[in-house]
Structure 1
Amino acid sequence: MTRFGKIIQRFQGDENGAALVEVAITIPLVLLLSAGVFEFSNVLNTRLLLEAGVEDAARYMARCSSDWATCQGLAQNLAANGAVTNGSARVPGWTPDKVSITKAISTAAVDGSGTELYLSSTGTVVVVQVSTELPYNGIVFWDYLGLGTLNINVSHQERVFGW
């Protein structure tokens, strides 16, 4: 038997250090998986906060009884900061000027498939749409994978009956 064969034979039954090798192989995979779960939950949380802000602003605009410009400024602040005046940012980097509010007149209360969108005694319905787009600035994992910029887009419509 050669010298190399004797060395191999000596290590065949020895299990010292096997757990260390297993841990060295699995820990990077577990850490990668954990970072991915954390990043995904952070993206989801950011989107939910944006949706809540946009929905709040749309409901506010639908019921506002002041002039359009005043209501728009207050609604933009409500979306981004959680209050019509002052408040603190819901999402870092999301400012009131990034919230777009438009008013549209729906010329039909039904869509193309015949589904009724709004109950109305008239053929026109005033609708306010609030939307925003925010680039996701997450933790290092997203950038490390080289996936580029992730833009989160959110919009919400409400039928206007306040003014």
Structure 2
Amino acid sequence: MTRFGKIIRGFQGDESGAALVEVAITVPLVLLLSAGVFEFSNVLNTRLLLEAGVEDGARYMARCSSDWATCMGSAQNLAANGVVKDGSARVKGWLPGKVEITKRSLAATDLATGTQIYLSSKSTVDVVIVSSDYSYPDLGFLSYLGFGPLTLNVSHQERVLGW
């Protein structure tokens, strides 16, 4: 034990290598934090691109003056690719076929309270709803932390002005 004690006493007061130990402790934490910030910002950017797409598709569909099928195909392409014909995907893997477009007739006034919701000469107004689900391709960080697959849901509605 005395021999071991002499070895230990030899290290007392010696500070060489302290910076290396500090770096070895802090670098993994900084890298983990940086990876989390990158992953979160990538999810947020993807969500914003999806929202912009469904808003563009709904706006186009609400003002389209052609028949429903023609307008729907163009609006789906606009939502996913940013242009009415062809184009490249706003978000990798988000195809026009994944964009759902529905039309709904809503009451212009709230029947329970009598409050006018939409200014209209008719008792109903047509609203187009564009929505989509997107499975976010995990870069590995979320699954490393134990999270399951992430699905982003976006939806937007516009009052129909065309047709």
- Does residue 144 of the first structure (1) align with residue 138 of the second (2)? no
Alignment map for 1:51-90 (pairs within 5 Å): 51-90=51-90
CA deviation digits over 1:58-100, x for unaligned, max 9? 0000000000000000000000000000111000000000000
CA contact (8 A) 1:111 1:117 kept: no
Q: 1:31 to 1:112 in 2, by over 3 A?
A: farther
Task: For residue 93 of structure 2, give the secondary structure of its aligned residue in structure 1.
Answer: coil
Equivalent residues of 1:109, 1:125 under 8 A apart? no
Describe the shift of the 1:12–1:79 C-alpha distance in structure 2 as closer, same or farther (beyond 3 A).
same
SS of alignment partner, residue 20 of structure 1: helix
Report the counterpart of residue 123 of structure 2 in structure 1.
123
Alpha-carbon distance in 2 for matches of 1:71, 1:126: 15
Cα contact 1:110–1:118 (8 A) shared by 2: no
Q: In 2 relative to 1, CA 8–63 (structure 1 residues): closer, same or farther, beyond 3 Å?
A: same
Number of residue pairs matched? 163
- The aligned counterpart of 2:99 is 99
Partner residue, 2:47: 47
Residues 127, 157 of structure 2: 8 Å contact kept: yes
- Retained in 1: the 8 A contact 2:108–2:116? no
Task: Show the 5 A alignment for 1:11-26.
Answer: 11-26=11-26
2:26 aligned with 1:29, yes or no?
A: no
Q: Report the aligned-residue RMSD.
A: 1.7
Any conservation in 1 of the 2:109–2:123 contact (CA below 8 Å)?
yes
Distance across 2 between alignment mates of 1:89 and 1:52: 13
Cα distance in 1, alignment partners of residues 58 and 112 from structure 2: 24
Task: Indicate the larger mover: 141-150 or 42-51.
Answer: 141-150
Aligned-residue offset at 1:115: 6.2
Q: Which runs of 5+ in 1 are unaligned?
A: none
So what's the TM-score if we normalise by structure 2?
Answer: 0.93
Per the alignment, residue 156 of structure 1 pairs with 156
Deviations 1:13-38 (A, max 9, x none): 00000000000011111000000000
Q: TM-score, normalised by structure 1?
A: 0.93
Partners in 2 of 1:15 and 1:113 — Cα distance? 77
What is the SS of the residue equivalent to 2:9?
A: helix
Percent identical among aligned pairs is 73
